[in-house]
Structure 1
Amino acid sequence: MNIPDNILETVWKIYSVVAKKKLTMGRSINGFIAASLYAAIRVHDFPRLLDEICQNNLVPRRTVHRSLGMIVREVLPELKLKYQPITAESLIFVLEMS
């Protein structure tokens, strides 16, 4: 997927807080890892789709979406990170590159 190192560091920070808060209890760890990756991608405004993350991690979209909601509500404010909405311009650029 060619994810830059700074985004991977953010994924690690997000997932560390998830584990520390024990949000994974009774839930899919793979779902939280994929959701942490997608949240970090959105924080850094890196153009990737949720479906792309789900396909590469073999995790159902519903599982990732639920985990992502918990991360956005409970983890990102603690880390003082802002979840950026996806823009059409960034997606058009990605489609032109592929």
Structure 2
Amino acid sequence: MIPAIPYLQALGLTRDHLILALGLSYTVSTLALAADLGARGAVTLDGAGLSALAVLPGMWAGQKLRARIDPILFRRLCLLGLLMLGVEMVLRAM
């Protein structure tokens, strides 16, 4: 997802269109990962159902928060999140 996020942000999409594009990207990649893990026996339907149920409160909170945040602040927070993920990956590799 790392290449997709900066690319989508560089397109200059509106906040709602950016979230839609990111959501579609995450959904496709998550389904592909789930299919692979399921084929290898690493995921059960019980665990997948519980995980899907846990996503709902986060989606609801994200929609409420997104409606209240300034678009520029929203972009900065997205980029800050990417930076934090990058730093974590570098630290983990050390």
TM above 0.5: no
Specify which structure has the higher proportion of helix.
2
The TM-score normalised by the length of structure 1 is: 0.29
The TM-score normalised by the length of structure 2 is: 0.30
